[in-house]
Amino acid sequence: MIIVSRDQWGARAPRSVTKVPPSRRRRFVVHYSAASPDQTPKSIQTYHMDGRGWADIGYNWLVDEHGTIYEGRGWDVLGAHAAGHNTESIGVCFIGRDRPGTVDAGPQARAAVRWLYDQACARTGRTLTRTGHRDIGATACPGDELHAWLHAGMPVDEPTPSPSRPAPGPAVPYPLPAGHYFGPADGPDRSVSGRYRRRFGGRSDRTWLRTWAHQLARRGWSIGTGRRWLTRHGNDGQYGPEYKALISAFQRDQGLRVDGLLGPDTWHAAYRNPVT
């Protein structure tokens, strides 16, 4: 499982922390965010702290559609997700919605939720009651799809190994000097953004960033204006939130450290690792 710590997703510090010993836990409560899967733990935390006035993001853990797990309050902290049941409950939120006729929480997300459930039972030393938020509160949460799955015993498909093929070639060497990476324009000098049209190895930084994103397209990623990634600005070679999201998703996909910055490891993975 890929677990993104609070530090890694840039969590704000909680206003306060109340510990709950594992022996007090009885339930494992599943939620959904009921919004676009493009939501992030950061945006949910902002809403919970600034919109709702809570001490921190409400959930103990979160899971996205790719099955990436994000640390919320963590195992041993009182959450704010199931009124009247927070002490006894470990709350996990699927970042996404439940559209009729559509599998929104797919095999990867389910495997991650199930993994958290198994961890929670191991840590508390008991079989926690599988609970959908709607079972203990007046809400549609977590949607019909996850609710039915919970009460079916949270079955998880065996992952089917997908055939892999070699990365499309030829490999392009990492173009930046040691210690440099593609990152935000307001970063240090070694953060190369494309905004200032710096040249490396005879080509502009924008060209290099476009070259790398083009390699992801060759690997089958849907990239460009109106497509899944780089939707608004296209592959323009100027690092911003869209490139950060693309780089982070590729890092998750490859099991790399997820920081949204394009350094040598992430660069080479696109040219060297098989396409799965």
- Binding residues (CB under 5 A) for Zn ion: these are 31, 133, 141
Nearer to Zn ion, 141 or 261 (CB): 141
Nearer to Zn ion, 31 or 206 (CB): 31
Q: Minimum distance between the CB of residue 35 and Zn ion, rounded to whole angstroms?
A: 12
Comparing C-alpha atoms, which of 124, 68, 127 is closest to residue 92?
68
Q: Minimum distance between the CB of residue 76 and Zn ion, rounded to whole angstroms?
A: 21
Nearer to Zn ion, 141 or 247 (CB): 141
Name 26's Cβ contacts closer than 8 Å, sequence gap at least 6: 88, 89, 126, 128, 129
Question: What's the first-to-final CA gap in the chain, in angstroms?
Answer: 17
Nearer to Zn ion, 98 or 242 (CB): 98
The backbone torsions φ and ψ at residue 240, rounded to the nearest 5 degrees and listed phi first, read -160, -165
- At 248, list the tokens: 């982070």
Q: Hey, which residues does 79 pair with through a beta bridge?
A: none
Q: Minimum distance between the CB of residue 133 and Zn ion, rounded to whole angstroms?
A: 3
What distances in angstroms separate CA 239 from CA 11, 117, 178, 242, one per listed residue? 22, 37, 19, 8
Q: Minimum distance between the CB of residue 139 and Zn ion, rounded to whole angstroms?
A: 6
Nearer to Zn ion, 133 or 180 (CB): 133
Q: Minimum distance between the CB of residue 38 and Zn ion, rounded to whole angstroms?
A: 19
- At 2, list the tokens: 């890929």
